[in-house]
Structure 1
Amino acid sequence: MGVIHDRIARRSLTPGARLPSIRAFAETMQVSKSTVVEAYDRLAAEGAIRSRPGSGFFVAAPLAPLALAEIGPRLDHAVDPFWVSRQSLEAGADMLKPGCGWLPAEWMPVESLRRALRGIIRTAEPATLTDYGSPRGLPALRQLLARRMVERGIETAPDQILITESCTQALDLLCRFLIEPGDTVLVDDPCYFNFLALLRAHRAKVVGVPLTPAGPDLALFAQALSEHRPRLYITNSGLQNPTGASLQPSVAHRLLKLAAEHGLIVIEDDIFADFEHEPAPRLAELDGLERVIRIASCSKTLSASVRCGYIAGPRDWIDNLVDLRIAADFSSRRLSAELVLTALTDGSYRKHMEALRARLAKAMAATSRRLKGLGIEPWLDPEAGMFLWCRLPDGLDAGEVARRALGEKVVLAPGNAFSPSQTAPDFMRFNVAQCADDRVFKVLERAMRSE
């Protein structure tokens, strides 16, 4: 099959060209006729070739013309909340991605996932492989997540949890449920860029509150509550993205008091919880899931390909979110949930996370040292996690540096992609797990000197 694909791609086989007969191709490739039949069937299913009864197989429709713009990175995109996502998700295999938000594939528990997949395929009931899942999500996974939350001090029952496809879907459902176009939502400044992208899609008014190493600036937080009367506040309490900061107890207590006084609902994205060496305070823990909703997923620690997250909140809200989920998405991903459940309970996850935390600590120290050698200073030294939020030397614009680096196939994460007020033009977020290649720092240095 690969031979035919290559010949079509090189235009040595053009639309309408007749392919060798099954017998002739089998003899040429020294394989069985059944192998050729299977290969031709797959090519036909892809639309690459078509069969004419009595005449043989022929190359199908004309290929789309090659476009240079589709081969290389897009340098013309604006530095906005979509910048990092566009560049990282569309990056080719030859590109380096110190600006992306996930771990390298070789850092993930691939063998554990393979074992889980093999076990599911071998033993699962037919319905697991073919039927819709419950809109609430797999009961056994909800039980496991509730138990894990209780262990972290967050009293939770399985009926307070809704399994979602991801953290992003969780946040999307909550925005559909809680806000209307034009409502005001508070976020940290800087914050995870996809918070801004999603809120833009929901036509919300976004107000940023400056972040300190201990949490949001409480004086400005209180001022924003009085001036804008927001409906929601969306945050990471532990290992905040992009800064790596963790909420301190005194700030957490005062923040919840302000939220109660102003009728504010808090969505706490806790996707980085398992990266911590020692858990930081959680708003959900202090609040008891009354006005704080917790969302998380396994994309950072298990697999971004296996889409599985969750919402934990008040029971009556979960019931309403289930109805919304049916309307918007119909059901949960049953197979994904089974895979996550198996991977989390096969005994290897704890060892994987212990090794991962140690590996990230080494990468954090090494990356910080290399960046400081270029005059790039971390805003703080995170206690754990994968991100460093850094200020570039005076006079440098992170957006321009990122564009120059992109031209050399290195994806960086400029600060204003994370800032609702656009006050971080000289900052960048670095993923320390993606900074092992020396080329990252060589390209970065050239891009900075070109300013």
Structure 2
Amino acid sequence: MTAIRTRIAARGLGPGDRLPSIRALAASMAVSPSTVVEAYDRLVAEGVIRARRGAGFHVATAEPAPFRVAAAEPSRDRAVDPFWVSRQSLDTEASASKPGCGWLPADWMPVGALRRALRGLARGADALLTDYGGTRGSPALRRLLAGRFAEEGLAIGPDQILLTGSGTQAIDLVCRFLLRPGDTVLIDDPGYFNFRALLEAHRVGVVGLPYGPAGPDPAAFEAIVASARPRLYITNSALHNPTGATIAPATAHRLLNLATAHGVTIVEDDIFADFEPDPSPRYAALDGLDRVVRIGSFSKTLSASVRCGYVAARPDWIEGLVDLQVATAFGGPSPVATDLVAAVLAGGGYRKHLDEVRRRLSGARRATAQRLGRLGLVPALMPRGGFYLWCRLPDGLDSAAIARLALAEGHVLAPGNVFSVSNSAAAFLRFNVTQCGAPDLDAVLARAMRAAARSGEPV
């Protein structure tokens, strides 16, 4: 029933369309024909479909309601809703305190290099400021990316790289290309909350994979792929969001072997790679982009305002993704954005910028962990890089209750269950160590924790 409703909601089946025969649907879903008969009978009773004598079952002709992403699954407490957290982080005034957001403050970014690159572009050809970009995006930037990949052992040419409007658009294109409504996708639990939000829009099933200090649980991965038969596994391998964990080499090899054996494509979001002091294992490099797709962007290290992402994949998939991007965006990303990124990356200052950011982050992680520790907020692990601390609350407090109370005092937090498909992370908060500078943050957290304890909201 869910599979049929999903196809109708996603416009895979329209009013009056004939549904698969009972035997065909039973075979495709590996269930008995009697199960399909019962499902169709229930959908008829609900008015979703109609039975036509001698002509099978058809979608009811009533006009379907407009699709709403937020209604794609049962209503959740808005304090632990990925859309709620994203809206608060993006729409709150720039001066507001955002310990739960996912980006660096402006004074951590290479603003001087961006201004110099902008002045250089302003003196360039008029076409750069007026014309569409090529379908694959800036050749200069793709060559630079290919060179960076070669340093980690991934030898590909620029033609295997597609530039996109953002990292999120890169994942969206891959999902459009590889998924159909009703498919199943595996994501980490806990894992990046916008993966969940995006997959809701694609009307696919989502299954959580337990994720720990050494990465995903291989035994759980093997059991899930055998039972749920997911088409994709979407993950961060370097400096995992939200935990900050780094995948162990043995875990990476085992998961890649299991994914290959079960026909699962791994989509590797490598957006935090430049924050690592030393490179950790990458699925893409181990696999050579056979059943792995690498995506990323520059919003964390360069600018969230200059939107530019990329996809690296096997050549035939890149061809399909190029056509899909033309169909949905008429060409690649803005030439101004891609040439700006290329100009900054080509300059010697970018590597110095990263060295300085890594140095500052190391100090900020230690200092923030000490501050939070005095409040009883203890990191589950101390990451080797990046700007996240995944902290456990004391005394079984509920992070959603604390987030609501802190928001009332002007602080945006990221409660644990935003990141958890199974809603098993209510005892955690994710902190961005670069966004914890508000002088009253400690006092607000202490008050919120005391108030949550008095309210008695269970985890």
Normalization by structure 1: what TM-score?
0.82
| Structure 1: segments with no counterpart, 5+ residues | 1-75
Report the counterpart of residue 254 of structure 2 in structure 1.
254
- Secondary structure of 1:95's counterpart equals coil
- Secondary structure of 1:113's counterpart equals helix
Displacement of 1:439 in angstroms is 1.6
- Secondary structure of 2:82's counterpart equals coil
Kept after mapping to 2: 8 A contact 1:83/1:417: no
Which digits, 9 at most, give the CA deviation of each residue in 1:251-291, with x for residues without a partner?
Answer: 01100110111000000000000000011100001000110
- Secondary structure of 2:311's counterpart equals strand
Report the counterpart of residue 310 of structure 1 in structure 2.
310
Report the counterpart of residue 219 of structure 1 in structure 2.
219
Q: Quick one: distance in 2 between partners of 1:424 and 1:202?
A: 25
Report the counterpart of residue 440 of structure 1 in structure 2.
441
Instruction: Give the 3 Å change call, closer, same or farther, for CA 78–432 of structure 1 in structure 2.
Output: closer
Residues 1:323 and 2:323 are matched in the alignment:
yes
Q: Amino acid of the residue matched to residue 356 of structure 1?
A: V
Report the counterpart of residue 398 of structure 1 in structure 2.
399
Residues 1:236 and 2:236 are matched in the alignment:
yes
Kept after mapping to 1: 8 A contact 2:79/2:404: no
Q: Amino acid of the residue matched to residue 272 of structure 1?
A: F
Report the counterpart of residue 154 of structure 2 in structure 1.
154
Q: Quick one: distance in 2 between partners of 1:94 and 1:170?
A: 30
Q: Amino acid of the residue matched to residue 422 of structure 2?
A: S
Report the counterpart of residue 190 of structure 1 in structure 2.
190
Which digits, 9 at most, give the CA deviation of each residue in 1:106-150, with x for residues without a partner?
Answer: 11010110000001101x111111000001101111111011101
Report the counterpart of residue 105 of structure 2 in structure 1.
104
Displacement of 1:437 in angstroms is 2.5
Q: Quick one: distance in 2 between partners of 1:440 and 1:117?
A: 36
Q: Quick one: distance in 1 between partners of 2:289 and 2:418?
A: 31
Residues 1:129 and 2:129 are matched in the alignment:
yes
Q: Amino acid of the residue matched to residue 432 of structure 1?
A: V
Q: Quick one: distance in 2 between partners of 1:190 and 1:77?
A: 18
Report the counterpart of residue 335 of structure 2 in structure 1.
334
Q: Quick one: distance in 1 between partners of 2:330 and 2:230?
A: 30
Residues 1:203 and 2:203 are matched in the alignment:
yes
Q: Quick one: distance in 2 between partners of 1:156 and 1:354?
A: 26
Q: Quick one: distance in 2 between partners of 1:231 and 1:365?
A: 39
Deviation above 2 Å: which 4+ runs of structure 1? none
Q: Quick one: distance in 2 between partners of 1:100 and 1:251?
A: 29
Kept after mapping to 1: 8 A contact 2:79/2:415: no
Kept after mapping to 2: 8 A contact 1:416/1:424: yes
Provide the aligned C-alpha RMSD in A: 0.9
Kept after mapping to 1: 8 A contact 2:79/2:85: no
Report the counterpart of residue 350 of structure 1 in structure 2.
351
Q: Quick one: distance in 2 between partners of 1:84 and 1:247?
A: 27
| Structure 2: segments with no counterpart, 5+ residues | 1-76, 453-459
Report the counterpart of residue 66 of structure 1 in structure 2.
none
Kept after mapping to 2: 8 A contact 1:94/1:409: no
Kept after mapping to 2: 8 A contact 1:82/1:417: no
Q: Amino acid of the residue matched to residue 420 of structure 1?
A: V
- Secondary structure of 1:438's counterpart equals coil
Displacement of 1:346 in angstroms is 1.7
Q: Amino acid of the residue matched to residue 177 of structure 2?
A: F
Q: Amino acid of the residue matched to residue 330 of structure 2?
A: F
Report the counterpart of residue 294 of structure 2 in structure 1.
294
Which digits, 9 at most, give the CA deviation of each residue in 1:2-46, with x for residues without a partner?
Answer: xxxxxxxxxxxxxxxxxxxxxxxxxxxxxxxxxxxxxxxxxxxxx
The share of aligned pairs that are identical, in percent, is: 61
Q: Quick one: distance in 2 between partners of 1:396 and 1:198?
A: 29
Displacement of 1:78 in angstroms is 4.1
Q: Amino acid of the residue matched to residue 364 of structure 1?
A: R
Q: Quick one: distance in 1 between partners of 2:369 and 2:270?
A: 24
Report the counterpart of residue 47 of structure 2 in structure 1.
none
Kept after mapping to 1: 8 A contact 2:186/2:208: yes
Q: Amino acid of the residue matched to residue 312 of structure 1?
A: A
Which digits, 9 at most, give the CA deviation of each residue in 1:128-185, with x for residues without a partner?
Answer: 1100000110111111101110111111110100000111000000000000111000
Displacement of 1:250 in angstroms is 0.3
Report the counterpart of residue 93 of structure 2 in structure 1.
92
Q: Quick one: distance in 2 between partners of 1:377 and 1:149?
A: 35
Report the counterpart of residue 279 of structure 1 in structure 2.
279
Which digits, 9 at most, give the CA deviation of each residue in 1:289-347, with x for residues without a partner?
Answer: 11000000000000000000100000010000000000000112111001000011121
Q: Quick one: distance in 2 between partners of 1:421 and 1:446?
A: 28
Q: Quick one: distance in 2 between partners of 1:208 and 1:77?
A: 20
Report the counterpart of residue 19 of structure 2 in structure 1.
none
- Secondary structure of 1:233's counterpart equals strand
Q: Quick one: distance in 1 between partners of 2:442 and 2:79?
A: 23
Residues 258-269 of structure 1 correspond to what in structure 2 (within 5 A)? 258-269=258-269
Q: Amino acid of the residue matched to residue 357 of structure 2?
A: L
Report the counterpart of residue 57 of structure 2 in structure 1.
none
Report the counterpart of residue 385 of structure 2 in structure 1.
384
Q: Quick one: distance in 2 between partners of 1:380 and 1:93?
A: 30
Q: Quick one: distance in 2 between partners of 1:222 and 1:391?
A: 28
Q: Amino acid of the residue matched to residue 240 of structure 1?
A: H
Report the counterpart of residue 180 of structure 2 in structure 1.
180
Q: Quick one: distance in 1 between partners of 2:94 and 2:233?
A: 37
Report the counterpart of residue 431 of structure 1 in structure 2.
432
